[in-house]
Every structure is written in structure tokens, then in C-alpha cells.
């Protein structure tokens, strides 16, 4: 107790011996020190809260990205599975294929068919056939193209050329289609029955020429 009294007495004597200028400076230093004691914890706490909020936003963004990636990966796996099933079945002769597809459309008949030499690309055998149609309507021609595109065989439309030299809704057009054959694919027999539908051609396998 005596030590405490002696300490306060010494401080009082020290304060008494200070000039007014020194007392002002000491008071300012004390006020600054007090402000730091009060404000520094508040600043550190607010900084920590902002850091936590930023971390939460980054985590939320990462989770959303992962969720979208899962959906994308699932769609890609489904597309690959559909492509594998599609390429597992070899397309028939393209001339017969085109004749069958054209026969499904009223007023549409092939006037000429040309077969190009087969080619090997990335382990696939490519068969290319071109067919001409004379004086046909635009609507059955479009339906024919859609039928070829949506075929369950690994067949893609390679080119389309249209001439409108006749009067009315009568066109001359030429189409080229290409079939992609895998070495292990077996020749299909009959029509397209019994094979689940899949995405349009050209989304998997080698690119069309």
C-alpha cells in the first residue's frame, strides 16, 4: 500500500514540475493512446469480418462453379455414351440410305448418285456419296435433310448446293453425305428400329471433310 502511495506521490510531483507545454503534449499523447486502445480492436474486428465475408463469397462462387461443372460433365458423359452407341452401328450403303430417306418424302426422287473413294481419318473409314435431285419442292428437301441429320447411323451432311432455275417451288439441288465407320463396328441389317435416338451427327468422332 505504501508503495502505491509513493508511486502516486512521485507521479504527482512529476506532473507538478511539468510546464504547461509539456502537460499539453502529454495529454495529447494520452488521448492518442486511449483512442488506439479503443479503436484498434474495433478496426481489427471489422477487418476480420470483411475477410470472412470475402472468403464466404469465394467459397459460394466455387461451389456454384462446381455445381455447373457437374451438370456440364454429366451432359458430356451422356453425349459420349450416345456417340459410342451411334458409332457402334455401321451405316448401310449410302446410296441405299439416301434412296430410302428420299422415298419417305412425297415428290422427291434421286436423279443421280456418285460415290467418292473411301478415306481413312483418325482410325475411321469415311464413305462419301453425293446425290442429285431435280425439280423438287423446298419443303420435302428440307425434311430430307432433317431426316438425314437425325438418323441413328453415324452419318453427317457434308455439303449442300441448291439451284433455283425453275419456275415456282421447284429446285435442283445436290447433297453430299459422309458415313464414319469404326473398325469394330458391325454392318447393320434392316432399318433403324430398336436403336435409341441420340444427338445429331458431327458432335462426336472425326470432323466431317
Rounded-to-integer distance, Cα 92 and Cα 157, Å: 15
Q: What is the pLDDT of residues 52-66, one digit of tens each?
A: 888 888 888 888 888
Instruction: State the pLDDT at residue 200.
Output: 37
Return the SS3 of 126. strand
Q: What is the pLDDT of residues 67-90, one digit of tens each?
A: 778 777 777 787 777 767 777 778
Do residues 157 and 145 make contact, with C-beta atoms less than 8 angstroms apart? yes
Taking the CB of residue 82, how many other CB atoms lie within 10 A of it?
16
Per-residue pLDDT at 201 exceeds 80? no
Instruction: State the pLDDT at residue 184.
Output: 64
Taking the CB of residue 176, how many other CB atoms lie within 10 A of it?
19
- DSSP state, residue 105: S
> Can you give the pTM of this predicted structure?
0.49
Q: What is the pLDDT of residues 88-107, one digit of tens each?
A: 778 889 988 999 998 888 87
Do residues 86 and 150 make contact, with C-beta atoms less than 8 angstroms apart? no
Q: Where are the beta strands (DSSP E) in 68-166?
A: 89-90, 110-115, 119-121, 124-136, 155-163
Instruction: State the pLDDT at residue 137.
Output: 86
Three-point CA angle 91, 197, 185, nearest 5°: 30
Do residues 92 and 173 make contact, with C-beta atoms less than 8 angstroms apart? no
> Which of 152, 133, 158 minimizes the C-alpha distance to 190?
152
Rounded-to-integer distance, Cα 177 and Cα 149, Å: 10
Q: What is the pLDDT of residues 100-148, one digit of tens each?
A: 998 888 878 888 899 999 888 888 889 999 999 988 888 888 999 999 9
Instruction: State the pLDDT at residue 48.
Output: 81
Confidence grade of residue 209 (pLDDT, cut at 50, 70, 90): very low
Amino acid at each position: 500500500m505504501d508503495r502505491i502511495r509513493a508511486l502516486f506521490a512521485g507521479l504527482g510531483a512529476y506532473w507538478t514540475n511539468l510546464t504547461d507545454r509539456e502537460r499539453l503534449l502529454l495529454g495529447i499523447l494520452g488521448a492518442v493512446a486511449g483512442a488506439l486502445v479503443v479503436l484498434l480492436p474495433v478496426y481489427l474486428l471489422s477487418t476480420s469480418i470483411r475477410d470472412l465475408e470475402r472468403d464466404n463469397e469465394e467459397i459460394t462462387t466455387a461451389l456454384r462453379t462446381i455445381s455447373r461443372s457437374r451438370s456440364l460433365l454429366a451432359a458430356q458423359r451422356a453425349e459420349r455414351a450416345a456417340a459410342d452407341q451411334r458409332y457402334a452401328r455401321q451405316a448401310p450403303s449410302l446410296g441405299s440410305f439416301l434412296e430410302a430417306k428420299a422415298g419417305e418424302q412425297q415428290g422427291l426422287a434421286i436423279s443421280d448418285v456418285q460415290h467418292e473413294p473411301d478415306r481413312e481419318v483418325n482410325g475411321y473409314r469415311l464413305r462419301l456419296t453425293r446425290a442429285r435431285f431435280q425439280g423438287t419442292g423446298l419443303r420435302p428437301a428440307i425434311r430430307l435433310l432433317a431426316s438425314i441429320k437425325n438418323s441413328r447411323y453415324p452419318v453427317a451432311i457434308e455439303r449442300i448446293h441448291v439451284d433455283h432455275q425453275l419456275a415456282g417451288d421447284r429446285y435442283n439441288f445436290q447433297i453430299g453425305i459422309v458415313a464414319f465407320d469404326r473398325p469394330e463396328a458391325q454392318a447393320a441389317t434392316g432399318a433403324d428400329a430398336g436403336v435409341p435416338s441420340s444427338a445429331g451427327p458431327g458432335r462426336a468422332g472425326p470432323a466431317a471433310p
